[in-house]
Amino acid sequence: MSWRLTDDIDEFDAAAGQFLASRPVQHTVFLTVIDALRRRGPHTYGPQDPVLGFWRTAEGTVDGVLLRTPPHPMMVSPLPADAVPAAAAAVPLTPAVNLLAEAEDAFAAAWQRRTGQSATATRRTRLYRLGELADPAPPGRARLATDADRSLLMEWHAAFHDEIGEAHHGDLGAAVDDRIAYGGLLIWEDGGRPVAMAIHSRPDAGMARVQIVYTPPDQRGHGYAAGATVAATRSALATGVRDVVLNTDLANPTSNRLYRRLGYRPVEDRVILEFAA
């Protein structure tokens, strides 16, 4: 039983691709990140090379993965119990890690033994899966984004990342162009004015993820985020996926209430740990 670390996307995909596809709901972020790295190159998320890893059992099968696309935290999949401290011992030093809440204590203890650094939970998130979709019918309508919306959407992408305190390294323009091209970026309009957006990822292993739901501050309170979320969900379902998922920050009760009201149901909780001496 051991971890294998690599920066070779093809090697990682050949070893761990089947494992990731076997649980597409829980592995949603891994699937979309690997897809982006494969299509747009290893520096899609920043100038440093990614770190990719997979855990092989005594029988030689893959039963866990991790990845880091600096400057983002290292992300760890659900793991067998013995793979958690082994991950803390094997990976390159990192300022933060994103893992299942149930693995928090074991990883933090193993990290402190290795480095002397203590861990602080800085964000807790929840993964939701769509049950039965509701329709709140706010004023306005949805439409697909086009190239004419590019400048506005770049502003909204940057504002979204700033608002949640997340660095937006890499080329936002390339990300917007890509999402427009595959039809995954939905705009909600009211009176002909763009007032909100939501995105869904490319379908992968029968799953798509709704993400970056954003309404500018001066347009909030009208239900536009709900309309955009429903539109992005329907657009994802139209691609033929079995599951539509999304992630929320548990510190934001408004968004968590909204997604439950729209028919999304909790699957698992995760935590981001930051390390300091």
3-state helix, strand, coil in the chain (%, to 5): 35, 30, 30
Exposure letters 102-141 (e unless 16+ CB within 10 A, then b): ebbebbbebbeeeeebebeeebebbbbbbeeeeeeebebe
Tens of pLDDT, residues 70-79? 988 999 999 9
Full-model pTM: 0.92
- Tell me the fold of 130-267: Aminopeptidase (3.40.630)
Q: Average model confidence (pLDDT) for the chain? A: 94
pLDDT of residue 170: 60
The answer to whether residue 167 scores a pLDDT higher than 80 is no
Geometric angle at alpha carbon 253, from 251 and 255, rounded to 5°: 105
With beta carbons less than 8 A apart as the criterion, state whether 5 and 53 touch.
yes
Query: Which backbone phi and psi does 271 adopt, to 5 degrees?
Result: -140, 145
Residue 15 and residue 7: Cα distance in Å, rounded? 13
Number of residues assigned to the chain = 277
The answer to whether residue 261 scores a pLDDT higher than 70 is yes
Integer angstrom CA distances of residue 50 from 27, 62, 93, 155: 17, 19, 13, 27
What average pLDDT does this structure show over 110-132? 96
Q: Where are the domains of the chain?
A: 2-116, 130-267
pLDDT of residue 266: 98
Tens of pLDDT, residues 133-166? 998 889 999 999 999 999 999 999 999 988 887 7
